[in-house]
Amino acid sequence: MNRDDQATSREEPAVPGTDAGAAPAAAPPDLGDPSLYLNRELSQLKFNVRVLDQALDERTPLLERLKFLLIFSRNMDEFFEIRVAGLKSQIAFDHELVGPDGLAPRRVLAEISALAHQQIERQYAILNERILPELAAHGIRIVRRTQWTARQKQWVRRHFRQEVAPLLTPIGLDPTHPFPLLVNKSLNFIIELEGSDAFGRDSGLAILPAPRVLPRLVRLPDEACEGGDNYVLLSSIMHAHAEELFPGMKVLGCYQFRLTRNADLSIDPEDVEDLALALRGELASRRFGDAVRLEVSDNCPRPLVEYLLQRFGLGADELYEVNGPVNLARLFGIASQARFPKLQYRPFTPALPKALMKTEDLFRAVARQDVLLLHPYESFAPVVDLLRQAAKDPAVLTIKQTLYRSGADSEIVDALVEAARAGKEVTVVVELRARFDEESNLGLAARLQQAGAIVIYGVVGVKTHAKLMLVQRREGDELVRYAHLGTGNYHTGNARLYTDYSLLTSDPALCEDVHKLFGQLTGMGKLQPMKKLLHAPFTLKKTLLELIAAEAAHAEAGRPAQVTIKINALTDAKMIRALYKASMAGVRIDLIVRGMCCLRPGVPGVSHNIRVRSVIGRFLEHSRVYWFANGGEPRVYLGSADLMERNLDRRVEACFPVEGKKLQRRIRKELDLYLADNTSASVLQPDGEYQRLRPAAAQAARNVQEQLLERLCGAGEAAG
């Protein structure tokens, strides 16, 4: 029986103690055995590989395939900046941490290097042999220097002299011009020279940084081409005219390279009096962290490669010689080209649920019933509109909101600013330490403060990751609360790209819990009991463990027992052990984990009842869902937290119940679509590898994202 068959014909677990002649029970397995756990960094890297795989899927429009290839580049940049940099720091400071998988950082780095080299080489092969030729067939070309026509050469020369050369600063290397400190991920050239300059210097080497203000992709004018969209890379332009920067000298070679640095911030909130001020200072240093990777053109001579490695203190395993541009992410300008709609996913219009279609008063609609939205299939506009309505409504007295990633110029921030200026009591908990959004969050915090809002930076040492909004409104003689709770960020752009749930509610108990949580974030006091809300770092982990254990008890008692969890990552060892125990008790467990998963499924006697799948498609799967059969009375939670140590132990997270049979049945149906997907899903195997699912010969193709587009906004086939 293959693994796909097991999905539909799983054997019922044996009931313990029914065979009087059975042999003595074997000793229970050791759930601390490292072989039961997968390494988190390697699991994250394999997720990036699954993203790259999408670039080869012929069912996906061509420009979208290019996007997946470029997303792989971005993901790998962050992987080296954070994950690899973290491992290297452990080794450098002689503080090597070994996780449940038992692999030491040096071993992990070696395995990362082997897999990353293989996949980056594969990435450039896909680009050069598949994507670029197919783009050229549709009239979209990146014209190489060797292919430039006389007219194109003339135009490029003029462009270089007028737009590029005035901004360049070539740096000759000699005792008075030491090797420059290069910015993280910047494009640079090492240039080999022959001859002496006006001062008699003849070091033979120069460094040429490409200014960040210059576009890396330049569109050639139509009059210089023969149809289509034609582009040249800034690297090609600079390479072709490098000799003009060194008059009277001969350029023997010009080779592009890029250095990746440690970009993690190292602020201890307990050691600073003003977190915002400290963060501003630390952001500048992010550009010049320790080197972790060197990318260089694969035609660069070995002596120059060795020279660069020595300058940056890197070894051969940290060198990546590439057959193409070292800064591939710059090609997003082509991937987002709107002139070729047939090469992209077709657009769709997010739907509105019936409960909101015929009403302009969102408070009245939410007072009647809870409203559940699944973005991007259903519009994020009601969330923004509720806040806008609150800003204008004289009956609204206070608005409280958490912001993790939103952007200083977002519609959400606009509405909060309007509310503050209108005299509402506006309190915003801004998490400054949202990785790579710190600068944006500093900007939005300043903007809110200028408007008169109270801005809080959360709790010292604990990131605020919960997604909550609370509005208090005077209705007659009482204050009525309305809340929004979500699994995603208050970012309207992400709401078109990420799958996330939103709940709009006026449930008094749930809104009271949200009010208490804001009190914990902005004030001080002992932990207050919550009626419905689960929140980290206090009750969330404990309750989830209890819910999993309860399923095991149901299974042992012969009652319906099933767990379905949809998250972005699963790394917490206690959670994994709890799931193993439930599996051993006979609980059927389905995990939909987009990225890192340290649980090893399919191990006989331990995780034989656990299936793990990852879904990658048009939208980034971001929603977190926790579904428990609970003996036939399901309990369903949505939340902001993944099953990671950082989320459960070191962050403020909120997980909220979905009540009412109708909404619970809806979520169950949507989870079942994920579990039935046989085109965009990959199933985790016991050896830690992923197997991409394909429809069997007589089986219909099922793509969950297309099905949800069709069901919720009538655009399934139009999706791609």
pLDDT tens track for 604-653: 999 999 999 999 999 999 999 999 999 999 999 999 999 999 999 999 99
Average pLDDT over residues 692-700: 91
Q: Is residue 621 part of a domain?
A: yes
Query: The domain that contains 695 carries what CATH number?
Result: 3.30.870.10
- Are residue 413 and residue 505 in the same domain, yes or no? yes
Q: How many domains does the chain have?
A: 3
490 is in an annotated binding site: no
Residue 465 is a catalytic residue: yes
The pLDDT of residue 3: 37
The answer to whether the predicted template modeling score (pTM) of the entire model surpasses 0.75 is yes
- Are residue 514 and residue 572 in the same domain, yes or no? no
Q: Which of 377, 410, 383 minimizes the C-alpha distance to 399?
A: 383
Unique residue bearing structure tokens 């506006």? 426
Q: Is residue 406 part of a domain?
A: yes
Between 244 and 177, the more confident residue is: 244
Crossing angle, helix 62-78 and helix 105-126, to 10 degrees? 160
Kindly tell me if the per-residue pLDDT of 167 is higher than 60: yes
Kindly tell me if the per-residue pLDDT of 170 is higher than 80: yes
Last residue of a domain, one of 483, 501, 527: 527
Kindly tell me if the per-residue pLDDT of 435 is higher than 90: no
Domain span holding position 453: 354-527
568 is in an annotated binding site: no
The percentage of the chain sitting over the pLDDT mark of 70, rounded to a whole number, equals 89
pLDDT band at 286 (very low <50, low <70, confident <90, very high): very low
Cα→Cα distances 678→567, 614, 615, 681, 692, Å:
19, 11, 10, 6, 8
The pLDDT of residue 405: 74
The pLDDT of residue 10: 36
The pLDDT of residue 178: 82
- Are residue 560 and residue 608 in the same domain, yes or no? yes
For the chain, how far is it from start to end, CA to CA, in angstroms? 33
DSSP 686: T
The pLDDT of residue 271: 43
The percentage of the chain sitting over the pLDDT mark of 90, rounded to a whole number, equals 75
The pLDDT of residue 238: 96
Distance of alpha carbon 440 from alpha carbon 694, whole angstroms: 42
Q: Please state which of the ranges 102-106, 294-298, 390-394, 492-496 shows the lowest mean pLDDT.
A: 492-496
Angle at 338 between CA 333 and CA 344, to 5 degrees: 95
The pLDDT of residue 200: 65
The pLDDT of residue 436: 54
The pLDDT of residue 95: 84
Query: The domain that contains 244 carries what CATH number?
Result: 3.30.1840.10
Q: Please state which of the ranges 239-243, 265-269, 482-486 shows the lowest mean pLDDT.
A: 265-269
Q: Please state which of the ranges 16-25, 55-64, 395-404, 518-527 shows the lowest mean pLDDT.
A: 16-25
The pLDDT of residue 213: 93
The CB density around residue 411, as the number of other CB atoms within 10 Å, is 19
- Are residue 306 and residue 437 in the same domain, yes or no? no
Last residue of a domain, one of 312, 343, 374: 343
Decide: residue 260, CB within 10 A, 0-12 exposed, 13-18 middle, 19+ buried: buried
The pLDDT of residue 210: 95
- Are residue 230 and residue 326 in the same domain, yes or no? yes
Kindly tell me if the per-residue pLDDT of 92 is higher than 90: no
Cα→Cα distances 260→78, 286, 459, Å:
9, 11, 32
Number of H helices, E strands in the chain: 22, 27
pLDDT band at 407 (very low <50, low <70, confident <90, very high): low
- Residues 438 and 366 sit within 8 Å (Cβ to Cβ): no
Q: Is residue 131 part of a domain?
A: yes
The pLDDT of residue 716: 44
Helix H, strand E, coil C: the string for 9-51 is: CCCCCCCCCCCCCCCCCCCCCCCCCHHHECCHHHHHHHHHHHH
- Are residue 305 and residue 387 in the same domain, yes or no? no
pLDDT band at 447 (very low <50, low <70, confident <90, very high): confident
496 is in an annotated binding site: no
The pLDDT of residue 711: 94
Q: Please state which of the ranges 105-114, 278-287, 424-433, 686-695 shows the lowest mean pLDDT.
A: 278-287
The pLDDT of residue 719: 38
Greatest mean pLDDT among 255-264, 351-360, 657-666: 657-666
Q: Is residue 7 part of a domain?
A: no
- Are residue 366 and residue 468 in the same domain, yes or no? yes
pLDDT band at 441 (very low <50, low <70, confident <90, very high): low
The pLDDT of residue 136: 96
Decide: residue 382, CB within 10 A, 0-12 exposed, 13-18 middle, 19+ buried: buried
* pLDDT, tens digit, 9 for 90 and up, residues 322-369: 999 998 988 999 988 778 899 999 999 999 998 898 888 999 999 999
Average pLDDT over residues 544-565: 96
Q: Is residue 11 part of a domain?
A: no
pLDDT band at 28 (very low <50, low <70, confident <90, very high): confident
- Are residue 596 and residue 677 in the same domain, yes or no? yes
The pLDDT of residue 195: 80
481 is in an annotated binding site: no
Average pLDDT over residues 397-425: 88
* pLDDT, tens digit, 9 for 90 and up, residues 196-224: 766 666 678 999 999 999 999 999 999 99
Greatest mean pLDDT among 62-66, 279-283, 412-416, 453-457: 62-66
447 is in an annotated binding site: no
The pLDDT of residue 408: 59
Average pLDDT over residues 31-56: 97
- Are residue 362 and residue 414 in the same domain, yes or no? yes
- Are residue 255 and residue 298 in the same domain, yes or no? yes
Last residue of a domain, one of 343, 374, 392: 343
Q: Is residue 9 part of a domain?
A: no
The pLDDT of residue 201: 64
Cα→Cα distances 231→59, 218, 226, 227, 511, Å:
26, 5, 13, 12, 54
Between 8 and 610, the more confident residue is: 610
Unique residue bearing structure tokens 């993790």? 404
75 is in an annotated binding site: yes
Which position among 465, 491, 535, 554 bears the catalytic label? Answer: 465
Between 582 and 528, the more confident residue is: 582
Average pLDDT along the chain: 89
Q: What sections of 359-403 are H helices per DSSP?
A: 362-368, 381-392
Kindly tell me if the per-residue pLDDT of 282 is higher than 80: no
The pLDDT of residue 534: 98
- Are residue 670 and residue 709 in the same domain, yes or no? yes
Kindly tell me if the per-residue pLDDT of 578 is higher than 90: yes
Q: Which of 362, 348, 332 minimizes the C-alpha distance to 506?
A: 362
- Are residue 316 and residue 406 in the same domain, yes or no? no
Three-class secondary structure of residue 247 per DSSP: coil
Q: Is residue 371 part of a domain?
A: yes
Q: Is residue 20 part of a domain?
A: no
